[in-house]
Structure 1
């Protein structure tokens, strides 16, 4: 073993055999786990699709519920309904809507009067007294599109004594279910289906298929298997078909549906085909790799000192950052092969260093490496150059909805568009994540500005990739330069600032850098720095806006609102203050201060004899999502000795509708403590109507935008009236925000709104003014 050749040969051979053996064992173990993961993936697909259908059905039910409770529908005045119903028909979702009377007379938005007394919904609503039903798909006998199956969702119409006086329904084309089934991107010979409790097809890949066909006509000719699928909520069924092939069926009940089940059928051979292919490929690669390594060991052991030292020098230069170095490949031994492999590796490293592997564009390093050469070629020309940074708005949403593979496809397609936009010596690179950087040039300023406008139009608009269609929105920041003395880093910084401003303004636009933009950023940073020390400098104060009870005319509560008393920023809008605080995380500390100060002030009022006042405090989304939020509220109440029933937390509707189950749990914990819960800005989020009855809330605050428009806009008036009526039906108080005129006050009184808040009563005032209002009430009474 004194020979270096023999030492290298034996050590490398033994090491290679052990390494490749372990690699094979580890790979085989991991591959054996894949079937379980693949089954889980298909189960997730079925659950997701069934949830998608359930969500659609739930949305239809909510909408028809709201419509059935509207004053016009409940009047059952056909003339009014004829002018009202057509305005509610959304052509993309509904085919038509129908109103019917207990005697069977009906009127539709696409038909004149007809008789529905023989139809299913008439029997269910008027005879069996069900509140809402969803029909099975069927072919309409009334319209010329009778070859297209439809679904009817009906809801009873009741009078003030809860007696059924009619029904209203929406007619939906069954095609939306087929689109859900056909829209799945399933590998292999996999198909999606929706069936009812009898096994009859509700939706299927074959658009020409009949609704009367049974699932056993397609994939399962075994009643026991079908019964098992229909009896269980979800699961996986395995069986052998008539050809002797193992088949997997993944199924899940569809919530909100009459009796439907979503399922996917795929052969076991198809689902595991890729695994077997990967196993064979890995085995072949390991064997080939092992053979090559052993062969390499024989050749390499013949090489001694000189070639090794030369290669060592090459390695050292490469390690020091010289990626253009090349090893001598003409050495006719192992070192020659090693040199060749090293050079290939170095090329790969160079690509990894300067190229983006997803889009195959330059990366940021490559952009900086290539840019000087491009600019040198243009040095003798009188041109205007520009650095442009493009950011895809809300790209995370694309990834979360469609997956990262689809997101990579979007980036690749986007990169191809940008490459086609370039000319001459212009370059494009992937900057960071969903951002791209371009170097452009033109003869004059106007032309470069027009070019960037065209670039924004090119990047924005509808995009269709793999049958998925969505709207692409981008934010573009550009910095234009005619001065070669400005460092490229500074130009990129300017373009970045312009892009950030576009983002702050809502995105989906483009903007050129100017000095005012940078000053704006600096000013915002200064505000942020001063805001950081605002609490310790005692620069915050709370003002309070009274909340008046309409029935008694008494001020029963106040809303605490923050103000910044810093002399430099006294005019900064509270909304801007909150936005900056949320961006830098200060909202947690500020929110705690506001809550504690409001509780302290309310306790002080109680000590002065005003014991029935409720103080409302707004809670930001970031603050409410803190894991210790409930504990913090409890700690502040104990510290200020304020009874929980005198504190009301205002949570915006959008906060409540994000991760509903998590928010519902927190609300219940707060409610169990005795704290009151209020939903602020109610009515701005339509989906909340499905959930608000589950929330343990005391008050709904009707958004000021509806109050402002309700006397001039029938839709706003209907929304206000509907919210008040629904709140009363479940014994929740309503507060109208932003009341500014006597006419608004009188209308709200007429509709029995419980409380109001706005400039008509008082603007937000200091605590001592609130005390004066309380004393004036005492004297008046």
Structure 2
């Protein structure tokens, strides 16, 4: 081999080695860039998906809150005061801050009580759930009229202890998502909402509506199985890379916590984010020699693209699209960072919105409404200094966090600033009267929880809307304790039953001269671990609204049957025990079967059980109640009408319901020794009840003078403090053991 050939050979070897080294460096460089972009893409998709689900979650929660508040207002008025109910609903519809539209009040028969509608919705799921005491949120349903997807919310409506109907309303998923779109990714990005079976319940692509998203991919794909497993076990969020329609796509999913297993799912083609890396791959193949220099250039270029994409993603995720100021999520981040970095000890969160903003939109147009919101955002920018964080939370709701010097003076300064400067918007051609409702929360907590701080400010803002003479309210201890107390009671009912915090007290009933115990009424008591004794007047209405009254009622019934069985075994002289049954419990389809099973389980003579239903419950739906009474009486259980005299009582009502016992309420008995009319009224009720074959019990009897009067009126049974107060089971056992 000649030296020339050797040189050429060495040159080829060297060139080969150099090409190999450069190729290896280029390949490593390419893989590193691709991995970085892929990781950044996955982080961004997870962030966006979580933001969308939280936005929807917050809107659904707020919508349910509006329906509940409206339900509480309407509950003050009975079913006959329709004009007042219409007025309340119209006032709510006029509220520009209202998320819920098309609000209606429905009676217990399913009839819509509206000036503009007489429809019957008794066959609708939202009515069936609400009339059973349940809160209901429907799946999005596309309207044939405007093509929008509507969600329906319903809450039961109570009058005293009884469901008298329900309130329902709706809004669109388009409103809830605040026109969120995925244009930032590309026109090939998708946003859908699915249930926990994978069925698409909302999509802007009509081709995949009502299809199963999880069946689009290969069933053997491990990523597909991971998504299925996550959704089945209600995981909060996740992200996978899946091969769909001949391309790899990033699929992010995040659970909407207030829904029944709904998930927001975003899908973006992987190559849309990795096109620069593909360009690098092509360049490496074309010119191995230049791969390092080209790689450096592309690396810089990709870094720039990543920054641009990041800014776009942050704008979508953290900036209000209309006003350009921080949205709710960015406010949370910046407010927390501000407190951590700052040495200042006093802060306040201010939440304010525009009163009657919906009317402004309706009268002056949505363009004017948008201009008002943008002007308010500009005013906030101009008047807020460096030591502030501000943002637009939703619709016309704004928030500000700022430092304080003097609490009392700063309150007046903040209110004056908002009223006179920030919310003071003028138009040359229009005169619009703009007023704000302001809620203020002073941050005194050691634990930084910005969401809770905002919630407290919003509670104060809601309070400000219903008070007079001022348009602001400062969150105080009373508002906090009331809110927390109600929430804790609702949350702890089921736990209280499980932990044996509930007990049954018994108030004995006596014959007319008090010489003999002839029965007793079972009364529920709750000794809460932290809150102590909680009055039934406080927790029973909450339980009826949440549906937990069924747990309480069935626990009491089983407890009484168990005690009767024990007393029978101990050869005590047994007397009938009466148990209260709410309207919610009466609507349970398995009520008769439960009563029968429980009585048979403990071997109790059904004649020792009485079921008490209130007068209002008995007369709200006479046909339905009589069918339930017939079912219960077929078991040998007697029925008594409780609280007679507290509702719309007329003597003619006694013939409508097939009862065995009439209990005259304490309100009629309390002054019979002093008021002749009351005395004659009670005497007349007893006389008529006797003619109808009813046994009569007078409640709330407190002195012997009342006993003597009732004795002359032929009353059968006395229940009241004059002979016995409610006692626990051990003391009651002693009473019947020695009677």
Pairwise same-fold verdict (TM > 0.5): no
Q: Give the TM-score, by structure 2 length.
A: 0.42
Select the structure with the greater relative contact order (CA < 8 A; seq sep ≥ 6).
2
